[in-house]
Every structure is written in structure tokens, then in C-alpha cells.
A = this chain, B = another copy of it.
Amino acid sequence: MTAESIETIAVVGGTGELGGALARRLAHSGRKVIIGSRTAERAIAAARALSGEVGSEVKGDSNGAAAREAGIVLVAVPYAAQAGTLQEIRAFVQGKIVIDTTVPLVPPKVMRVQLPTEGSAAVIAQRILGSEVRVVSAFHNVSAHKLAADGDVDCDILVFGDDKTAREIAVQLIGSCGLRALHGGPLANSAASEALTSVLIFINKTYRVDGAGIRITGALTIPS
């Protein structure tokens, strides 16, 4: 574990369902967490509640301020808010690791794969943030409410990124939150995981499943 990976982590969009679940798991794992939100007040309220639960200080601030203070910035906002949010934090994440969780769902047809012309939301994130930001993507397939509950989640977290070191830091970070994270390859490969979300939503509806997920099979040994 490098020093970088144990720095403060900002969760931009940390008052949303996915962001809140991630902030909670990170705080429980002993990380220093700053919850970001469009309005600092909401973030501070969420942080206060989480602080009480975990028994250590969790901060809250505007998305930009949270990103500025952190070494690793997790972005958990809906697709429609992705571009705006990334523009908002762009200046504060240069040289840092950004873990983007955006799934390019296009309502109302969320059960239909509709990947952007750029290929994936992760590639869009890299373009917006610029080449000095080490973009990693993850958390596309896990249901937020399962992540929000305690205990094991029956879903692997595929992690994508062009910078291997940043990807490894993300894999370790996610692993320390009680989840199985796997390297999935370059950022372009994020398309697979992003597309799969629509398939899982389709399966949820067709088979009446509450939060279908995926597991990679094949006697996998995870290098330590």
C-alpha cells in the first residue's frame, strides 16, 4: 500500500445513493473521507451523520472543495450530471487519481445498452479532466442499496484504467472495503462494465431479481 492510496478520499456526489454507500464503506474501512455535494450544507449534514455512525470525523464540503482536499477523488453522480461535475472539479484534481463510477444510462430506456459515441463514460471523463489526471473507473455493476447494507456483496468490482499504478491503488482501496475488485484492463474496457449495467437491469426485471450482479469465474487467485 503506497502513501498515496491511504490519503484522504473525496466522494463527489457523496449525498447520492451510490456515493453515500461508498463514503460509508470507506469510512468504516478507516479511511479519511470527505463527502462532496453541490451544496456544502447537504454534504456537511451527511458527513455529520456518518461521523456519528463510524465514531471518527468525516468532513463535508462542496464538490470542488472536497476534491481539492483529497488525494483520491471518487465521482458518483448520474450520467446527466457527469460532465458538469467533472468541469467543476477539474482544476482541483490535476495530478490526482479520479475514480469515476458513471454508467451511461439514457432514460427512459435504461434496460437498453446505449454507449456514447466516445465509447464509454470513463473515456469521456478522461477527455474532460485531461491527460494529467489518472482516471480509473469502477462500481458500474454493483447495486447501490446492496453496497449500502453491511456485509458481503455478491458482485465483483471490475476496475479499469490506463495507468496501472492508479488502477492497482483503486483495486486495493476497493478490496479494503470488503469487496472483490479485479483489474479489467485499459479505460476503453470500461465499456463492457458500463454496458453490462443495462443487461443487469433487464435481468432484474425479467427474472424479478433484487440487484443482480456479476462474478468472474475460473479459479481466480488474486495477486497480493
Chain A interface residues toward B at CB < 8 A: 111-115, 119, 154-155, 158, 182-186, 188-189, 191-193, 195-196, 198-200, 202-204, 206-223
Contacts and interface: CB of A to CB of B under 8 A. Distances in A.
Contact of A192 (B119, B154, B192): B192
Given A183-B206, A217-B212, A113 B199 contact: no
Contacts of A219: 209-210
A220 B216 contact: no
A197 to B, nearest CB: 8
- Of A184, A214, A216, A219, the most chain B CB neighbours within 10 A belong to A216
Nearest to A185: B202
A189 B184 CA distance: 19
A189 B115 contact: no
A196 B156 CA distance: 14
Contact of A199 (B158, B198, B203): B158
Contacts of A217: 154-155, 212-215
29 contacts: A112-B189, A113-B192, A115-B115, A155-B217, A183-B202, A183-B203, A183-B207, A184-B203, A189-B198, A189-B199, A189-B202, A191-B191, A192-B196, A193-B199, A203-B216, A203-B218, A204-B218, A207-B220, A207-B221, A207-B222, A209-B218, A209-B219, A209-B220, A211-B218, A212-B218, A212-B220, A213-B216, A214-B216, A214-B217
Contacts of A222: 207
B192 A198 contact: yes
B202 A212 contact: no
A224 to B, nearest CB: 12
A222 B208 CA distance: 9
Nearest to A219: B209
A218 B209 CA distance: 6
Given A189-B199, A199-B184, A199-B189, A215 B215 contact: yes
Given A115-B191, A203-B220, 6 more contacts: A112-B186, A189-B198, A193-B199, A200-B216, A207-B222, A214-B216
